[in-house]
Amino acid sequence: MRLFPLSVCAVLLLGVASSVQAANPAELDAIRSVMNRGDLGQALQRLDAYVEANPNDDAEARFLKGLILAEQNDTDRAIEVFTALTKDYPGLPEPHNNLAVLYASQGQYVRARDALTVAINTHPSYATAHENLGDIYARMAGIAYDKALVLDSSNEAAKSKLDLVRDLFSVRRAETADTKPLVVTAPRPSSMETRSAPPAASASVAEAVPPDPAILETVQAWANAWSGKDVAGYLAFYADDYQPPRGMSHSRWKTQRRIRLNKPDFIEVTVSQPSVEMRGADRAKITFVQDYRSDTYQDQVTKALQLNNEDGQWRIVEETSIP
């Protein structure tokens, strides 16, 4: 699922591949072959064994492990791997870039921006990081324009700018339709090949409605409004026909939400591991892990939101926590 179409291509692991000679390059080549066959579980086991046997020569192996975890959608562990690499090899830009891609997939655009800034400071000629940073700023602009429209639906200037951002990423999705734009791969210096494209989708899958990136932007903006205790902005993300849980009336639900947003001294809501399911062009379901923290309470739940597209804006019509 392309939650964030960053421009990511095959790039050498500069500094690791060129300045550090692998203790057992034949084993790393064999592991790459296993990865390319799609047997990620076996590749991961062999990488762990390689790192254990070569603790002072593990940079490339750890990098490959991060790529496998990302392929397996184990985003949190992939982030741990690349974060450790940035600390152990601060001169390498690629781990910072990969962190940015992973953060962006979770809607954490500020962290993604910061990671790319470090990558560029480390390697000013790193074109991929510059382009990715432009995409991050465009995403953040889209969230800001969307919030402006939530607060003032008559703002035509904001609507035009939001349409431009969405058009930009519609083009990017078309351009990257046959690629896997998740993370930078780390081939050996003798190889610049990208991973092979996945098999062609069946007709039923090909005809499905692709996920609208505005859905993730909307959910992130909703979480930001909640974190900022912006009651009016938060409530504006819900449709007029939103059905509160347990048969509560809409007016009573609004009153309850105002109280709960205003009571704590601070609130922090983060969204991770999002998955979007389109149910037609104007209906969608998104599931994600929600972490809530305040000065009085904290929890983590898996949440599902049903959204409808109303006049170009995604609005929440149902909200449930999944046991």
pLDDT for 188 equals 35
Instruction: Tell whether 220 and 181 lie within a shared domain.
Output: no
Task: Share the mean pLDDT of the chain.
Answer: 77
Instruction: Indicate whether 312 pLDDT > 50.
Output: yes
pLDDT for 169 equals 62
When mean pLDDT is compared across 29-33, 176-180, 208-212, 250-254, the lowest value belongs to: 176-180
Strands 267-278 and 313-322: unpaired
Is 195 contained in some domain? no
Instruction: Tell whether 261 and 314 lie within a shared domain.
Output: yes
pLDDT for 318 equals 93
Instruction: Tell whether 245 and 166 lie within a shared domain.
Output: no
Instruction: Tell whether 151 and 29 lie within a shared domain.
Output: yes
Instruction: Indicate whether 24 pLDDT > 60.
Output: yes
pLDDT for 53 equals 83
Instruction: Tell whether 144 and 247 lie within a shared domain.
Output: no
pLDDT for 305 equals 94
CATH, residue 274: 3.10.450.50
The tens digit of pLDDT for each residue in 228-246 reads 999 999 999 999 989 888 7
Instruction: Indicate whether 170 pLDDT > 80.
Output: no
Averaged pLDDT for residues 248-267: 89
Averaged pLDDT for residues 234-262: 89
Q: Which residue, 189, 205, 232, sits at the end of a domain? A: 189
Instruction: Tell whether 283 and 177 lie within a shared domain.
Output: no
Q: How confident is the model at residue 251 (pLDDT cuts 50, 70, 90)?
A: confident
Q: Which residue has the higher pLDDT, 286 or 188?
A: 286
The tens digit of pLDDT for each residue in 119-167 reads 888 888 888 888 888 888 888 888 888 888 888 888 888 888 877 877 7
Q: For residues 183 and 70, is the Cβ–Cβ distance under 8 A?
A: yes
H or E segment and range at residue 269:
strand 267-278
The sign of the torsion formed by the CA atoms of 219, 222, 224, 226 equals negative
Question: Letter for the amino acid at 108?
Answer: Q
Q: Which 8-state DSSP code applies to residue 271?
A: E
H helix runs in the chain, sequence order: 16-19, 25-36, 40-53, 59-71, 75-88, 94-105, 109-122, 127-151, 156-175, 203-206, 213-227, 231-235, 250-262
Instruction: Indicate whether 10 pLDDT > 50.
Output: no
pLDDT for 16 equals 38
Is 140 contained in some domain? yes
Is 4 contained in some domain? no
Averaged pLDDT for residues 90-119: 88
Q: Which residue, 155, 189, 223, sits at the end of a domain? A: 189
Instruction: Tell whether 226 and 293 lie within a shared domain.
Output: yes
Instruction: Tell whether 22 and 162 lie within a shared domain.
Output: yes
Q: For residues 17 and 186, is the Cβ–Cβ distance under 8 A?
A: yes
Is 25 contained in some domain? yes
User: Shortest CA distance to 166 belongs to which of 131, 116, 217, 240?
Assistant: 217
Residue 270's domain comprises 213-322
Q: Which residue, 157, 189, 221, sits at the end of a domain? A: 189
CATH, residue 115: 1.25.40.10
φ, ψ of residue 92 in degrees (nearest 5)? -90, 130
Is 270 contained in some domain? yes
Instruction: Tell whether 60 and 171 lie within a shared domain.
Output: yes
Is 173 contained in some domain? yes
Instruction: Tell whether 58 and 127 lie within a shared domain.
Output: yes
Instruction: Indicate whether 215 pLDDT > 50.
Output: yes
Q: Which residue has the higher pLDDT, 146 or 206?
A: 146
Instruction: Indicate whether 99 pLDDT > 50.
Output: yes
Instruction: Tell whether 184 and 218 lie within a shared domain.
Output: no
Is 146 contained in some domain? yes
Instruction: Tell whether 126 and 31 lie within a shared domain.
Output: yes
Q: Please tell me the pTM assigned to this model.
A: 0.52
Is 39 contained in some domain? yes
Instruction: Indicate whether 186 pLDDT > 60.
Output: no
Burial class of residue 115, CB neighbours in 10 A (0-12, 13-18, 19+): buried
Q: Provide the domain count of the chain.
A: 2
pLDDT for 80 equals 92
Instruction: Indicate whether 2 pLDDT > 50.
Output: no
Instruction: Indicate whether 184 pLDDT > 60.
Output: no
